[in-house]
Amino acid sequence: MSPASITQKYSTLSPSLAVGIDEPDRNLALELVRVTEAAAIAGGHWVGFGDKNKADGAAVDAMRSFLQTVHFNGVVVIGEGEKDEAPMLFNGEQVGDGTGPECDVAVDPIDGTRLTALGINNALAVLAVAERGSMFDPSAVFYMEKLVTGPEAADMVDLRLPVKQNLHLIAKAKGVKVNQLNVMILDRDRHRPLVEEIREAGARTKFIMDGDVAGAIAAARSGTGVDALMGIGGTPEGIVAACAIKSLGGVIQGRLWPTSDDEKQKAIDAGHDLERVLSTNDLVTSDNCYFAATGITDGDLLRGVRYNKEKVLTQSIVMRSKSGTIRFVDGEHQASKWEGYARKS
């Protein structure tokens, strides 16, 4: 059975927007979960097989198919393929059924392709949607310096301040000592000086191999054991995370980080100020945006996909900034209906 026919068969479970409404409606959130579920189920078949491109390709195909059934007029403005040289939903691609509200779409069919290939925790299928023209255009700058923390210190931190000062501000806002703070950071050689600064300030580090969308959410969300995310990561992931943080509260601050003179010149030519610190509202200007993610492997945020003879089990999170609503969605899918996305050896 095709993705479209599956969606049509079960469309009563996720009511669409009323035709004629020109801004995203609350029901869009449930439609988006179906898309990330499909990407996670398809990509999840490749967990642990060591081939990140086949995993990503399967997730991309599933996400593209299901996006075409969503009741909106979407344009992909943030895609992952250009950076990763992997299968992609490309920038400028039209998605949705062509009716309903006009939207910017940010996609990451697998945030953590290497995590998926190696069977490591925290791989997600991710999708963010906002009103048309509201997502930041980073041009050709694929990386940015980031600082993420929760609501308590959102109005106190500043990416331009020394690391030690920001950590003391976060500790003060949370009413804890600096040595009780946990800072999440991507495990990269470029972060060695930052790691030294964090530890010299008295805080702890928590390394992640990939997947800093999940890391940003953990830093903004209470009860995760993560107080901040710092370091250089993907610009697309930063914009996707900003959509989630709009619902969670907290803040993401970013500063573009070109990796070459050519990339730097392209950014300047596009009108970017490379010293500017971008806030959550700079990365996504709309107050009506959506974030959806489904776990591929087990992680701090979500449980990974489970397959058995009769069912496929998924766990997802969906957020809407306008209402500040966060929902966790446990899905049970008939395995026979998803055979088209099964791993082909």
Q: Could you tell me the residue range of the domain that residue 306 belongs to?
A: 23-133+288-341
Q: Is 155 among the annotated ligand-binding positions?
A: no
Is residue 112 one of the residues assigned to a domain?
Answer: yes
Which is more confidently placed, 2 or 73?
A: 73
Structure tokens at 252: 């993401």
Answer yes or no: do 277 and 295 share one domain: no
Answer yes or no: do 119 and 178 share one domain: no
H helix and E strand count, the chain: 11, 13
Structure tokens at 174: 């949370």
Q: For the domain that residue 318 is a member of, what is the CATH number?
A: 3.30.540.10
Matching residue, tokens 């906002």: 130
The answer, yes or no, to whether residue 20 has pLDDT greater than 60, is no
The answer, yes or no, to whether residue 6 has pLDDT greater than 70, is no
Is residue 14 one of the residues assigned to a domain?
Answer: no
The answer, yes or no, to whether residue 3 has pLDDT greater than 80, is no
**Which pLDDT value is given to residue 24?**
61
Answer yes or no: do 304 and 208 share one domain: no
Number of domains in the chain: 2
Answer yes or no: do 148 and 256 share one domain: yes
Is residue 43 one of the residues assigned to a domain?
Answer: yes
Is residue 3 one of the residues assigned to a domain?
Answer: no
Q: Is 56 among the annotated ligand-binding positions?
A: yes
Phi and psi dihedrals of 12, rounded to 5? Answer: -70, -15
Q: Is 188 among the annotated ligand-binding positions?
A: yes
Answer yes or no: do 152 and 191 share one domain: yes
**Which pLDDT value is given to residue 4?**
40
Q: For the domain that residue 203 is a member of, what is the CATH number?
A: 3.40.190.90
pTM confidence score: 0.87
Is residue 13 one of the residues assigned to a domain?
Answer: no
Answer yes or no: do 156 and 251 share one domain: yes
* pLDDT 10s digits, 308-317: 889 999 999 9
**Which pLDDT value is given to residue 25?**
63
Is residue 267 one of the residues assigned to a domain?
Answer: yes
The answer, yes or no, to whether residue 152 has pLDDT greater than 90, is yes
The answer, yes or no, to whether residue 296 has pLDDT greater than 60, is yes
Query: How many other CB atoms are there within 10 angstroms of residue 200's CB atom?
Result: 10
Is residue 90 one of the residues assigned to a domain?
Answer: yes
Helix axes 212-220, 235-248, angle to 10 degrees: 30
Structure tokens at 66: 């299901």
DSSP string, 155-169: TT--TTS-HHHHHHH
Q: Write out the E strands in 46-180.
A: 73-78, 94-95, 102-111, 124-131, 143-149
Tell me the C-alpha distance between 180 and 169, whole Å. 13
Instruction: Map residue 327 onto helix, strand or coil.
Output: strand
Mean pLDDT, the chain, whole residue set = 89
Does residue 226 contact residue 184 with C-beta atoms inside 8 Å?
yes
- Of 264, 283, 302, the residue that ends a domain is 283
Tell me the C-alpha distance between 196 and 96, whole Å. 46
Answer yes or no: do 151 and 31 share one domain: no
**Which pLDDT value is given to residue 80?**
55
Q: Is 133 among the annotated ligand-binding positions?
A: no
| Percentage of residues in the chain having pLDDT higher than 70 | 88
Which of 27-31, 243-247, 281-285 is the least confident region?
27-31
Which is more confidently placed, 308 or 182?
A: 182
Tell me the C-alpha distance between 81 and 101, whole Å. 25
Tell me the C-alpha distance between 294 and 317, whole Å. 7
Q: Is 31 among the annotated ligand-binding positions?
A: no
**Which pLDDT value is given to residue 91?**
85
- The overall longest dimension of the chain from CA atoms, in Å, is 58
Q: Is 211 among the annotated ligand-binding positions?
A: yes
Answer yes or no: do 161 and 234 share one domain: yes
Which of 152-156, 159-163, 308-312 is the least confident region?
308-312
**Which pLDDT value is given to residue 300?**
84
Q: Is 145 among the annotated ligand-binding positions?
A: no
Answer yes or no: do 116 and 149 share one domain: no
Answer yes or no: do 269 and 158 share one domain: yes
Q: Is 113 among the annotated ligand-binding positions?
A: yes
- Of 283, 303, 325, the residue that ends a domain is 283
Q: 163 falls in which pLDDT band (50, 70, 90)?
A: very high
**Which pLDDT value is given to residue 342?**
62
- Of 268, 283, 298, the residue that ends a domain is 283
Q: Is 25 among the annotated ligand-binding positions?
A: no
Which is more confidently placed, 280 or 99?
A: 280
Q: Is 234 among the annotated ligand-binding positions?
A: yes
Q: Is 114 among the annotated ligand-binding positions?
A: no
Is residue 7 one of the residues assigned to a domain?
Answer: no
Answer yes or no: do 306 and 333 share one domain: yes
Q: What is the mean pLDDT of residues 321-336?
A: 92
Answer yes or no: do 91 and 191 share one domain: no
Which is more confidently placed, 299 or 84?
A: 299
